Structure 1
Amino acid sequence: MTNENETTATTETATATAPLVEIAPNSALLIIDVQQGFDDADFWGPRNNPAAEANIAALMDAWQETGRPLVLVQHASRTPGSVLAPDRPGYALKEFVAERAGRAALHVTKSVNSSFYGTPDLADWLTAQGVGQLVVAGIQTNMCVETTARMAGNLGYEVLVPLDATHTFDLAAEAGPDAPRLTADQLATATAVNLQGGGFARIVTTESLVTAARA
């Protein structure tokens, strides 16, 4: 069973001794794959962090209120039977994101994990806008969020990841009762360590970002 407190504790531990967050005037908020298909528990299995959606909405509102750019990323799966295929209802953005979609400066469609391999080209747009700082949130923590953050770090962007504005699902290495398996919270912890420990991104909280953006 997943535990929201574990995800919160992971984020707080990673940021407890960190300096205050500074948000650039043109910091871009990337909201990745917050789509209705991820609500299908039968397809994905147990998830973590039920507060993710509320935190994502708070970030979107803060960015809109302060005039910073919002980028929406949507996954168009090519995998047969995927609930995220463009012809399936699950491809649609979750309602709270769709309600805010009109505020987006860019809408990227992708079919792989990295948001930098999509259409329109994200890196070209960021360069044209002079953006050097990215805030990366959405679904799934250890898949498209982590991959996008890693690549952004490699490309030289300053990357902030509010772990509490992401969620993921339990995952096994392969089918079968004896297959290695990690819970969603364990995967989220691994992502935090990979990104911050590996120098790709800094793990922060939604609250710290919203406070800094509105300061």
Structure 2
Amino acid sequence: MPHPLPALIVVDVQRAFDEWEAAGKRRNNPDAVARIADLLRAFRTHSAPIFHIRHEGTKPNSSFLPSRSGYAVKDEAREQPGETVIIKRVNSAFIGTDLEQRLRAGSIGTLVICGATTNHCVETTTRMAGNLGFDACLVRDATWTFDRIGPDGDERSAEEIHAMTLSNLDGEFARIVTTAGVVASFAAK
């Protein structure tokens, strides 16, 4: 029998992103971490499953090396006792981890995905979730990204990148939802 509640997948809400921002990288969705905290509160209140995904860097200069300050989880998204923490070393939370097996063992079919960054680990995890047959819901106001320079030197704002990622995923890989909508869905159960 399928699990009656969705699972929350919190991707890479780590201090490295604060360090990037402090170093001058510009991001969108300044309230994303507050929305992630709202989601965590709602899932905890309803005893719904939560999976914290943490990125562990493998390159010598990675901000996400366990020995560096950026590896630590932001306080607002810190796991509580009994909540699952899964360490990944690539963009997708499904590659090289037991996330899929844990979800299948729990008969979990719906995933609510949030975290950082929209166009990297969140997008890759969301695409794979959809391809693996999960009902993936990407929370648009609980994820963020940074400005980037494209291969031809073209500048793309974090807002443009975020919007394009949502457009690419919508309908084929995931449903695009809001924090308020997810929280309201618990009240309807």
Using the size of structure 2 for normalisation, the TM-score is 0.93
**Following the alignment from structure 1 to structure 2, what is the Cα–Cα distance between the partners of residues 147 and 211?**
27
**Following the alignment from structure 1 to structure 2, what is the Cα–Cα distance between the partners of residues 103 and 59?**
17
Q: List structure 1 segments (4+ residues) > 3 angstroms apart after TM superposition.
A: none
3-state SS of 1:101 partner: coil
- Structure 2, unmatched stretches of 5+, are none
**Following the alignment from structure 2 to structure 1, what is the Cα–Cα distance between the partners of residues 101 and 5?**
15
How do residues 34-183 of structure 1 correspond to structure 2 at under 5 angstroms?
Answer: 34-40=13-19, 41-43=21-23, 45-98=25-78, 100-104=79-83, 106-119=84-97, 121-174=98-151, 179-183=153-157
Aligned residues: 185
2:173 matches 1:195:
no
**Following the alignment from structure 2 to structure 1, what is the Cα–Cα distance between the partners of residues 157 and 185?**
32
Q: Counterpart of 2:7?
A: 28
**Following the alignment from structure 1 to structure 2, what is the Cα–Cα distance between the partners of residues 43 and 191?**
24
Equivalent residues of 1:70, 1:103 under 8 A apart: no
Equivalent residues of 1:38, 1:44 under 8 A apart: no
2:182 matches 1:209:
yes
Q: 1:66 to 1:126 in 2, by over 3 A?
A: same
Equivalent residues of 2:33, 2:142 under 8 A apart: yes
CA root-mean-square deviation: 1.5
Render the CA deviation track for 1:63-98: whole Å, top value 9, x for unaligned: 010111000000001122121111101101001122
| Structure 1 residue 44 displacement after superposition | 6.8
User: 1 or 2, which has the higher helix percentage?
Assistant: 1
Identity %: 42
**Following the alignment from structure 1 to structure 2, what is the Cα–Cα distance between the partners of residues 167 and 114?**
16
Render the CA deviation track for 1:158-178: whole Å, top value 9, x for unaligned: 01011100011011125xxx6
Equivalent residues of 1:159, 1:202 under 8 A apart: yes
Equivalent residues of 2:34, 2:76 under 8 A apart: no
**Following the alignment from structure 1 to structure 2, what is the Cα–Cα distance between the partners of residues 44 and 148?**
27
Render the CA deviation track for 1:138-196: whole Å, top value 9, x for unaligned: 0001100010000000000001011100011011125xxx6022111001101111001
